[in-house]
Amino acid sequence: MSIKTIILAAGQGTRMRSSRPKVLHEIANKALLQHVYETSLALTDNTIFVVYGHGGEVVKQTLANLNVSWIEQKQQLGTGHAVQQAINYIENTDTVLILYGDVPLLKAQTLQNLLTLVSETSIALLTVELDDPTGYGRIVRDKNHAVLKIVEQKDANESELVIKEGNTGILALNGQRLKQWLARLSNNNAQNEYYLTDIIEMAVADGLIVNTTQALSQDEVLGVNNRSQLAHLERVYQLEQAENLMRLGVTLRDPQRIDVRGEFIELGQDIEVDVNVIFEGSNRIASHVKIGANCIIKNANIAEYVEILPNSIIDDASIGAYSRIGPFARLRPETTLAEHVHIGNFVEIKKSTVATGSKINHLSYIGDSEVGSKVNIGAGTITCNYDGVNKFKTVIGDGAFIGSDSQLVAPVVIGKNATIGAGSTITKDTPAEQLTLSRVKQVSVANWQRPQKQEK
């Protein structure tokens, strides 16, 4: 079965009150339209079209990486008119699948179920049972429960308005039939629009059967029309991610308070995640990793038994096994830590490697550096890597001990097992095994008197 999927995405989305086209609003950092696209990728022998309109150039540019054909609908004259724009791309033998770009959480399984119900003599229609069907087209059935037609809310009479079965807008049908019916659509209705839904009545008149099915959950077919619905679907999506993680063996202290905006390339077992942790991009997390509250973990590679304490930010960094990071640590891009490394509070590391067993425990900035193994970097140590124009490298040999509050002015090399006295400003390479310090000699003034306030 050759499938042509047409994703309708030309609507204005006025109720978003946004300068951004609606389908570019995001769930989990991914555009609504991209969610729909990725779901339809699960179907085999499928060619995807997107009908765009209002602000469409931005949509095309932003999502240029999607493997779809873009079709412009210059004026939004209705869902039927939108599908008409794609008509030249449809072969008679195709199965055409209609999706909405603003219904992001639809599952591939639901589409696969729907596609089992379509043939040359039957239409497959996805419907939804709603407590409050306001705004939806109603599915009108005869006394034998066969579908007769869809009536839009604004065209419905009183007996039709009480119908609780709504049209999701998602359907699949034969290409040749679709082309015939589209040619016959009129806009003679309450909204003066070309309704795609009118083809249902035509199909029934032509002797076709309308098969219906429903999604597993209502949230799958909910559309986004305003920011409140967007927020609702974000939560639905996140809870699904949380359930999935728990199924895979991750402990979540509170599945309601975790956000996954991206994917896990690798995920071990017995990972523990405390509240308010955000995962972004592509993460690899090995077994027995513990992540404390309020951490942001982005494009990270975290080996087993790593412990990340609360309020830490890991951004494009790799952390070796048994290392301990934070609380309040920040690892910036191109940071690679080996095993058993300790990074403590208020330490920022950028574009640096730190070898096995080294400790940078308090209030430091380490940038553009190569730190050896078993190095101890004292509190307040700063690598001065930047002269305002160029960046320079700091190399710290194995076993070096950097006294607190030192500045290492790059480019500079600290020798193996070198000791740097506290408070030093190091501007030249220091020899291995020796103590180096640069410090003004301490003096005491014996008869000095502190100024005194005069009594008035």
Q: Which residues bind ligand UD1 (CB under 6 A)?
A: 8-11, 51, 73, 76-79, 81-82, 100-102, 136-137, 150, 152, 166-169, 195-197, 223
Nearer to ligand UD1 by Cβ, of 36 and 271: the residue is 36
Diameter of the chain by CA atoms?
Answer: 112
Q: Which does 137 bind (CB under 5 to 8 A by kind): ligand UD1, Ca ion, none?
A: ligand UD1
Cβ distance to ligand UD1 smaller for residue 100 or 365? 100
Q: Within a 10 A sphere around the Cβ of 67, how many other Cβ atoms?
A: 8
Asked if 78 interacts with Ca ion (CB under 5 A), we say no
Pull the structure tokens for residue 368.
């553009």
State which residue has the least CB distance to ligand UD1: 137
| d(C-alpha 157, C-alpha 196), whole Å | 19
Residue 104 to residue 225: CA distance in whole angstroms: 12
Residue 149 site contact among Ca ion, ligand UD1, none (CB < 5 to 8 Å, cut-off depends on kind): none
Q: Which of ligand UD1, Ca ion, none does residue 357 bind to, with CB < 5 to 8 Å depending on kind?
A: none
> Which positions are annotated as active-site residues?
362
C-alpha torsion 227→228→231→233, nearest 10: -110
Residue 11 binds what, of Ca ion, ligand UD1, none (CB under 5 to 8 Å, by partner type)? ligand UD1
Q: How far is the CB of 82 from ligand UD1 (least distance, A)?
A: 4
CB under 5 to 8 A by kind: which of ligand UD1, Ca ion, none does 82 bind? ligand UD1
Cβ-closest residue to Ca ion? 223
- Could you tell me the smallest distance in angstroms from the CB atom of residue 223 to Ca ion? 5
- The residue (of 169 and 399) whose beta carbon lies closer to Ca ion is 169
Binding mask 207-226 for Ca ion (x = CB under 5 A): ----------------x---
Question: What residues contact residue 119 under an 8 Å CB cut-off, 6+ apart?
Answer: 174
Instruction: Give the residue with the Cβ less far from ligand UD1, 78 or 399.
Output: 78
The residues, any chain, with a CB within 8 Å of residue 408's CB and separated by 6 or more, are 381, 382, 383, 384, 394, 396, 402, 414, 420, 426
The dihedral sign for the CA sequence 239, 240, 241, 247 = positive
Minimum separation from the CB atom of position 315 to Ca ion (A) = 38
Residue 21 engages Ca ion in binding (rule: CB under 5 A): no
Between 98 and 314, CB nearer to ligand UD1: 98
Residues contacting residue 248 through CB under 8 Å, at least 6 positions apart:
267, 269
Give Cβ neighbours of residue 365 (< 8 Å, ≥ 6 apart).
347, 348, 349, 350, 381, 382, 383
d(CA 364, CA 382): 6
Distance CA 74, CA 10 (A): 9
Point out which residues bind Ca ion (CB under 5 A).
223
